[in-house]
Amino acid sequence: SAISYVTSGVSKKVALLTGHSANDYTDDFVSVLKDNNYTVDTISDAMVNTISDEYDAVCIAAPTGDYLDSEITALSNFLENGGKLNKGLIYFADAANPRLPVLEAFLESWGIKTLDGILYETNANYRTEDSATTMLITPASDEGITKNTGYCIAADENTTATAFMTTSDSVVTAPAGSTSDWSADGETKKQYAAAIMSEKTSDDTSSRVIAFGSIEYIHSDWISNSRLSNMNVAVSAAEYAAHAED
């Protein structure tokens, strides 16, 4: 838990990569991490070709531009850590941003597949009053919101991806760029993954990637809402990625 992490006296270090993000949505998330004994450094370089192994995890939030192959190599090398693994990545997508084929291919290599479209909750009991794309996600003890979707897919025998937060089973996918007159009538309702964790293991160690379907999960309106568990889940995700519980 966040409390046990603080009292453990263990300090973890996270690099926030903002060079591909037009907007900074992470102030509240960074503040929460710092309150939980993390050191957070912002790396705003437009191109990052190496990531220091002094960091336990990196965070990518709502990128608006795709990554270069050399940057993907840097991310992969960081997570590989010279074969020692024990590193992590936290990724927050943004449905308002364009497709990012290079970054998405990297995530797919970790068993995390991003799909086209915006999730639309048809059941008024599981969404906010003014927006069908702002919805509750489960497990029941952890509520949140999502605006995009992803699937867990087979990566390789050493990598396992698992959805740890999902929508209800009354959600449909609206095509990207849908206008206000789009209707969910006749669309197939199903449950979607809203957040996925992936772990690549070797011997007794691992590196981990966590992907959230929406940057809005850590928006100030939701992460600071005492009726929701967004803050707890965000800290738990950071703990998992940074191996704080090890």
C-alpha–C-alpha distance, residues 173 and 218, integer Å:
22
pLDDT over 90 at 56, yes or no: yes
Angle at 12 between CA 11 and CA 15, to 5 degrees: 145
For the chain, what's the residue count? Answer: 246
Phi and psi at residue 197, in whole multiples of 5°? -115, 135
Higher pLDDT, 2 or 74: 74
* % pLDDT > 90, the chain: 46
What's the whole-model pTM score?
0.87
Q: How confident is the model at residue 68 (pLDDT cuts 50, 70, 90)?
A: very high
Q: How confident is the model at residue 149 (pLDDT cuts 50, 70, 90)?
A: very low
pLDDT over 50 at 147, yes or no: no
Q: What pLDDT, on a 0 to 100 scale, did the predictor assign at position 150?
A: 55
pLDDT over 70 at 148, yes or no: no
Phi and psi at residue 26, in whole multiples of 5°? -105, 5
Mean pLDDT over all residues of the chain? Answer: 85
Q: What pLDDT, on a 0 to 100 scale, did the predictor assign at position 159?
A: 92
| 3-class DSSP assignment, residue 37 | coil
C-alpha–C-alpha distance, residues 135 and 121, integer Å:
7
The pLDDT tens digits for 105-128 are 999 999 999 888 888 899 999 998
Please compute the mean of the pLDDT values over residues 123-147 and round it to a whole number: 69
